[in-house]
């Protein structure tokens, strides 16, 4: 197998710009870096976002976890990861004024395009956030790079900050992770609107009575002659679509009742695209 070259060259930077990386918004945004472009910390992952309806790229578990928080937030309307600080000359000038060495590719010596992990549109305002493990904040070289980024974003009138694992709501993240992939659920269309509405009525009645999530879903599968696990997947789907609500700050345990369960809106899933 041919080993992918990850070295940065001037030609590669120009190619990335021509490809449109770091450009666009919403579903049309292209991250500057992809999983195959850099060695990652932790497990590199990808996932289709609820907010953008596109495949996102995460270079660490910490980035992925922060993304779950953003994707679940009601007032976040765009999430752009691996965002480039362009033009390159701007960060080079900032580094020069600070007397700091600009980040370079260790093999080619070429100045690299610095990136910010997330640029977020929240309530029509942009925010830039860098994600780092707390222990790395003690590294002087990392702090130097942070200063370049801080001045860059300040000059663009964008709020920039650093997020560590200490800032993340762990329980909420794990709950969002559990329901996330069921946002798009093929059963919605394959079952049909009448079956989905019947399933919903059965589950709502059981869950409101205090029956555990697992028992309510199993009973629903049996009553409707569905493949085992169908109702549980639909339960996750309703939560992901925020048609149903539970206490997301308390771990969702299928062996327990749904804490804080209530229905937000009437089911119109088919018109929402499933």
What structural domains and CATH numbers belong to the chain? 10-168 (3.40.1350.10), 172-272 (1.10.10.10)
CA distance 218 to 55: 32
197 vs 142: CA distance, rounded Å: 53
Look at residue 153 in the predicted model and tell me its pLDDT. 98
Task: Please give the residue that has the higher pLDDT: either 136 or 44.
Answer: 136
Q: Is 152 a residue whose pLDDT tops 70?
A: yes
For residues 202 and 130, give the distance between their C-alpha atoms in angstroms, rounded to a whole number: 45
Q: What pLDDT was estimated at residue 2?
A: 40
Residue whose structure tokens are 């329980």 = 171
Q: Say how far apart CA 271 and CA 274 lie, in whole Å.
A: 8
Per-residue CA distances from 203 to 145, 211, 251 (Å): 52, 10, 20
Q: Does residue 32 surpass a pLDDT of 60?
A: yes
Average pLDDT on 97-124 reads 96
- What confidence score (pLDDT) does residue 44 get? 54
Tell me the whole-structure pTM to 2 decimals. 0.90
């Amino acid at each position: 197998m041919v080993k992918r070259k990850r070295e940065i060259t001037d030609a590669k930077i120009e190619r990335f710009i021509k490809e449109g990386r770091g450009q666009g918004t919403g579903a049309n945004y292209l991250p500057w870096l992809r999983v195959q472009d850099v060695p990652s910390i932790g497990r590199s992952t990808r996932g289709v976002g609820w907010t953008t309806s596109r495949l996102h790229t995460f270079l660490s578990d910490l980035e992925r976890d922060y993304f779950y928080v953003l994707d679940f937030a009601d007032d976040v309307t765009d999430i752009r990861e691996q965002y480039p600080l362009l033009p390159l000359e701007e960060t080079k000038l900032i580094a020069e004024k600070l007397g700091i060495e600009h980040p370079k590719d260790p093999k080619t010596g070429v100045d690299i395009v610095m990136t910010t992990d997330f640029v977020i549109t929240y309530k029509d305002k942009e925010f830039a956030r860098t994600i780092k493990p707390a222990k790395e904040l003690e590294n002087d070289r990392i702090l130097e790079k942070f200063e370049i980024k801080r001045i860059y974003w300040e000059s663009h009138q964008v709020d920039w900050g650093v997020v560590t694992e200490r800032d993340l709501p762990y329980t909420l993240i794990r709950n969002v992770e559990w329901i996330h992939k069921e946002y798009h659920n093929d059963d919605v269309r394959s079952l049909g609107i009448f079956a989905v509405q019947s399933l919903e009525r059965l589950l709502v009645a059981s869950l409101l009575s205090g029956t555990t999530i697992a028992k309510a879903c199993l009973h629903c599968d049996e009553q409707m002659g569905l493949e085992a696990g169908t109702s549980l997947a639909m339960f996750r789907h309703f939560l992901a679509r925020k048609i149903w609500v539970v206490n997301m700050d308390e771990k969702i345990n299928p062996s327990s009742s749904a804490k804080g369960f209530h229905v937000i809106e009437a089911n119109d899933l088919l018109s929402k695209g499933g």
